[in-house]
Amino acid sequence: MAVLTTTEIMAIIPNRYPILYMDQVIEMVPDESLVAIKNVTINEQFFQGHFPGNPVMPGVLIIESLAQAASILILKSPQFTGKTAYMTGIDNAKFKQMVRPGDVLELHVKLGAVRGNMGTVDVEAIVAGKIATKATLMFVVAPEDK
């Protein structure tokens, strides 16, 4: 059961089709962790060119999916509600397995250190119980409201 639907996600982050890379949030502990789902389908625009005859989700879009999930966790914090979060860095990114059409991409986010309007999140993209991608993302939250 969804904690947040796609419509509720779009009320929190500015991403829209064709660059909204999650379908729902299924678990959330505010200021701590979040799990979101992205159902990967052959209808995704990027599969037209990446790669014909061998469709693989680009690693940069897996990182973008994780950043979007992280934004939701960050912006659900009372101190950041109504603002916009931006990714400022990526550390220790590892790509361990390919993500293909038909996969259910679980986006796991754990909040790390937060100082003022900046911080880190540890993220993992998991397919069928196996880590596909993991990284630490840095973020900054814009001081102005949306």
Catalytic residues: 50
The label of the residue with tokens 């599969």 reads 47
Buried b (16+ CB within 10 A) or exposed e, 86-114: ebeeeeebeeeeebeeebebbbbbbbeeb
Contact assessment for residue 25 and residue 34, using Cβ atoms and an 8 Å cutoff: yes
CB neighbourhood size of 42 (10 A): 10
Alpha-carbon distance of 36 to 3, in angstroms, equals 9
User: What's the CA gap between 120 and 123, in Å, rounded?
Assistant: 10
